[in-house]
Structure 1
Amino acid sequence: MNTTNALPGHRQASRMLLYTVVLFLLYGLLPGTLVPPAEAILINNGLTHVYAVVPGGTYDGELLIANPDTSDVTLLLYLSDYLFDAEDTIEYGDPGSHARSNAPWITIGAERVTVPAGTERAVPFRISVPDDPSLTGTYWSLIMVEPLPPEEFQEVDNFEEVTDPTFIIRTIVRYGIQIITDISGTGEPALQLSGARLALEPEGDGPTFVVDVANLGTQWINPDTWLELYDLQGTQLAIIPGDGGRIFPNTSVRQRFFLPPLESGDYLALLVIDGGGQHVFAARYTLRIETEE
């Protein structure tokens, strides 16, 4: 009895080896550099598309997708929401999952397209902004472009015909193209700083100044950030660039500034967040450095 029950389970486990394991990487949104596989596609007109819109307006765009490989590639296109915070939490929600999602406004021209080897294909999309006068500020989402595995890696339906199960690991790069819509003449970013501290991190030669930046406003901001370091006499010691990066409404990022080696003592720091125009924010801090003798 035990043997009879165990046999189907064993056969089922063997069949599972036939499935392709796909590791998805979101390309173009995360910090750092990803090296795409040889068959990766190219988005020739950028991974960010920004539109100034008005309620009730309709706007057409397109994705220019190139296939530099020697084989045809079939792509799946779909919409996804996108949220993140300073704790490195990233959420890819269903379209319309939060109040500032514009995914319900977007229609993609095709859900599945094939790009022949060595060619480029334009995939249109349309943004239909609701005729709602209460809309204000920035709304955004992602168009995901996912290469599908070729036929030789598709799942097998008839396991009884398979005599040599194979376990396959295949990496697929999934592209996320940000579609950002700004309601013209409305919205302002409102930044809140928190958690300012000194930390020791392996990337730096000295202590690291860390601060979280949240956008409590209604408009996105893509600022340059830097930290100006002074001694107590006002002599400037260094200008240290930060990570920058987009901060959408109700999201946050963590900024890190790698300080140079410093002697023990107190220092003055001026944090500057420059989003262009009137969107410039600054904060002053006193830093106490204590080094071991």
Structure 2
Amino acid sequence: MIKRILLLITLILQFSFLHAGIVILNGLTHSYTVENGKVYKGKIAIENTGSQPQSIKLFLQDFSYTADGTTHYTALHSHKRSNGDWIKFNTNLVTLKGREKTEVFYEIAIPDHVKDPGSYWSVVIVEPVEDIKPSDNKPGVNITSVIRYAIQIITNYDTEKAKPDLKFESVKVEKEDGKRTARIAIANNGNLYCKPTASLEVYNRTTGAKVGTFSSLTMGLLPSTSKTFYIDISKVPPAQYKATIIATDEDENAFALNVELEVKND
């Protein structure tokens, strides 16, 4: 009986997901190399994957994050590199029929007086608007899950005079679900957005022989933010090692740190 009830709940949940939801079709990071006084155009492509009409609102916020997994969405002007005032939409509200697609267009008007080189950014929040309907249900708590998207709009100004400055904040080795992972927290103390990859070169502590090189996924890193880069080192036997951490961005800027690495037998 319990198995049948669980199966019924699963089918109901799967069926409900088929009838609601929006997706962004052209990426969650839009990046531009810009000049003073010029206007740049872009668009956000949206699809209603459900069968029912869906209203969607768009608005701007500032955005930052730290390596502990915390993400901050705040009002515009919360940091000095916000570009939210530069961005204007052709509409802030759209309604899509079931299975319908649309495009919301925006313009980025760069001021004439930008002086500091580097990256400026904000995010466009794309959020479904739920209709409020009267209910005869008994009093209680109704929980509605709303999936919203944050689309980064990054403008890079005078990039020849700007650069990332990557710093290693911490290195930890942890085991979870049978997989051993090196967790490397990296901060961008520079003034330019970059997309680094972290790699770990592991050496035998006694002989100096190279055990292997292991790499993370590539992730974007805004100025004054930090992220944790995850590297699978399950193939490294438990022991103490010497290691070199290298963070390399898409322009081949490299930042390195020598560390003592302990892989425990747990």
Range class of TM-score, shorter chain: 0.7 to 0.9
1:190 aligned to 161, 165, 168, which one? 165
Shift of residue 254 of structure 1?
2.0
| 2:244 pairs with 1:286 | no
Q: Is the 8 A contact 1:204 1:259 kept in 2?
A: no
Shift of residue 76 of structure 1?
0.9
Shift of residue 148 of structure 1?
1.0
| 2:221 pairs with 1:240 | no
1:90-105 matches, within 5 Å, as 90-105=71-86
CA deviation map 1:218-267 (0-9, x unaligned)? 00111122212121434322222224421111011123334335243x42
Q: Secondary structure at the match of 2:175?
A: coil
Higher relative contact order (CA 8 A, sep 6+): 1
Shift of residue 51 of structure 1?
0.8
Q: Which residue of structure 1 lines up, in the alignment, with residue 98 of structure 2? A: 117
Q: Which residue of structure 1 lines up, in the alignment, with residue 204 of structure 2? A: 231
Aligned-partner residue type, residue 47 of structure 1: L
Q: Which residue of structure 1 lines up, in the alignment, with residue 229 of structure 2? A: 255
Aligned length: 247
1:49 aligned to 30, 35, 57, which one? 30
Aligned-partner residue type, residue 247 of structure 1: L
Go from structure 1 to structure 2 and tell me whether the alpha carbon gap of 1:126 and 1:263 turns closer, same or farther (over 3 Å shift): closer
1:138-149 matches, within 5 Å, as 138-149=119-130
Shift of residue 121 of structure 1?
1.1
Q: Is the 8 A contact 1:106 1:126 kept in 2?
A: yes
TM-score relative to the length of structure 2: 0.83
Which of structures 1 and 2 has the bigger CA Rg? Answer: 1
Aligned-partner residue type, residue 191 of structure 2: T
Q: Secondary structure at the match of 2:85?
A: helix
Shift of residue 72 of structure 1?
1.4
* 224-233 or 235-244: bigger deviation: 235-244
Shift of residue 204 of structure 1?
5.1
Go from structure 1 to structure 2 and tell me whether the alpha carbon gap of 1:289 and 1:51 turns closer, same or farther (over 3 Å shift): closer
Shift of residue 131 of structure 1?
1.1
Q: Secondary structure at the match of 2:37?
A: coil
CA deviation map 1:114-163 (0-9, x unaligned)? 1122221111111111111413100111111111113xxx065xx9xx68
- Give the aligned CA root-mean-square deviation in angstroms: 2.4
- Matched residues, percent identical? 28
1:83 aligned to 55, 64, 68, which one? 64
CA deviation map 1:165-188 (0-9, x unaligned)? 464322111111111111143310
CA deviation map 1:195-231 (0-9, x unaligned)? 33x443324544x433321111100111122212121
Q: Which residue of structure 1 lines up, in the alignment, with residue 8 of structure 2? A: none
1:271 aligned to 234, 242, 245, which one? 245
Q: Which residue of structure 2 lines up, in the alignment, with residue 218 of structure 1? A: 191
Q: Is the 8 A contact 2:166 2:247 kept in 1?
A: no
Q: Is the 8 A contact 1:140 1:181 kept in 2?
A: yes
Q: Which residue of structure 2 lines up, in the alignment, with residue 23 of structure 1? A: none
Q: Is the 8 A contact 2:45 2:101 kept in 1?
A: yes
Shift of residue 191 of structure 1?
1.0
1:30-41 matches, within 5 Å, as 37-38=17-18, 39-41=20-22
Shift of residue 164 of structure 1?
4.7
Aligned-partner residue type, residue 191 of structure 1: L
CA deviation map 1:83-124 (0-9, x unaligned)? 111122211000221111111111121111111222211111
Aligned-partner residue type, residue 96 of structure 1: H
